[in-house]
């Protein structure tokens, strides 16, 4: 699942006429990088949630055939359901097996197909990254491949995770965040994790978008 329903307030005015994942870097949109990476990893069935300017995502991506995948859309109407609520609404498309979720507004060289190493008793597996300048405090400690709630250095959640349907046990339809569910599963000792030290960008401001665009264009000799 690629999360693409958010309004992208911090990216305005760039997102006034398009959803954030359709912003371009290095000659193609952010979400197209994900689709191409999923196809390369052998993942063909993709769910994309939509809200703000959702029709433009459908118009741009269609059925996914051009990228070698099959896209289903989970429409959240005029108001996005936040991360937790959006995934929960799409569960009929995702379950029963473990499924990968990636934020549509990040760019990374982490291989998306590597995210399915989920232990038999685990409810989630999170990809963490070293803390960027805009988030120096991090989110979660990581020790021996386990995401913990204890002391120790904290790392930043990359927006990439693998989940089981049971991670959302007890949830009700509607808008809700993912963080309380993380805390519940971590407290139960049922969340594994890994640290990705490669390239990762959270496209949270126009300046970060411009920086990534310049780097990718330079690398491609554009």
Residue 87 and residue 46 in contact, taking contact as beta carbons nearer than 8 Å: no
Tell me the three state secondary structure of residue 76: coil
The mean pLDDT of the chain is: 91
pLDDT at 222 over 60: no
Residue extents of the structural domains in the chain: 2-215
Q: What is the CATH number of domain 2-215?
A: 3.90.550.10
Rounded to an integer, the average pLDDT of 196-222 is 88
- Among 79, 80, 62, which residue's Cα sits nearest to residue 71? 62
Length of the chain: 222
For residue 67, the 8-state DSSP code is G
Residue 189 has pLDDT above 60, yes or no: yes
Burial class (CB in 10 A: 0-12, 13-18, 19+), 48: buried
Query: How far out from the chain centre does Cα 17 lie?
Result: 22
The whole-angstrom separation of Cα 136 and Cα 179 is: 18
Choice between 221 and 15, residue whose per-residue pLDDT is larger: 15
- In the structure, what pLDDT confidence band is assigned to residue 54 with cuts at 50, 70 and 90? confident
210-221, pLDDT tens digit by residue? 999 899 888 876
Alpha-carbon distance values, 29 to 25, 65, 99, 143 (Å): 6, 16, 23, 35
Q: Decide: 22 and 34 in contact? Cβ < 8 Å.
A: no
Q: What count of other Cβ atoms lies within 10 Å of the Cβ of residue 188?
A: 11
Per the CB < 8 A criterion, the answer to whether 206 and 11 are in contact is yes
Residue 115 confidence (pLDDT) above 80? no
Burial class (CB in 10 A: 0-12, 13-18, 19+), 144: exposed
Query: What is the tens place of the pLDDT at every residue in 137-182?
Result: 999 999 999 999 888 899 999 999 999 999 999 999 999 999 999 9
């Amino acid at each position: 699942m690629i999360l693409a329903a958010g309004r992208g307030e911090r990216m305005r005015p760039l997102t006034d006429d398009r959803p954030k994942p359709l912003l371009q870097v290095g000659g193609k949109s952010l979400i197209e990088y994900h689709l191409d990476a999923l196809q390369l990893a052998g993942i063909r069935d993709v769910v994309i949630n939509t809200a703000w300017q959702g029709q433009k995502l459908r118009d741009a991506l269609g059925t996914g055939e051009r990228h070698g995948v099959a896209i289903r859309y989970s429409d959240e109407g005029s108001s996005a359901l936040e991360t937790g609520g959006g995934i929960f609404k799409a569960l009929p498309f995702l379950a029963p097996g473990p499924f990968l979720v990636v934020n549509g507004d990040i760019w990374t060289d982490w291989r998306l197909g590597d995210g399915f190493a989920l232990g038999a008793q685990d409810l989630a597996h999170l990809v963490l990254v070293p803390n960027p300048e805009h988030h120096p405090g991090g989110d979660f400690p990581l020790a021996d491949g386990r995401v913990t709630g204890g002391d120790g250095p904290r790392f930043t959640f990359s927006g990439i995770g693998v989940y089981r349907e049971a991670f959302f046990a007890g949830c009700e339809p509607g808008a809700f965040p993912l963080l309380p569910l993380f805390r519940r599963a971590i407290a139960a000792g049922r969340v594994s994790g890994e640290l990705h030290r490669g390239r990762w960008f959270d496209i949270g401001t126009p300046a970060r978008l411009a920086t990534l665009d310049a780097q990718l264009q330079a690398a491609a000799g554009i």
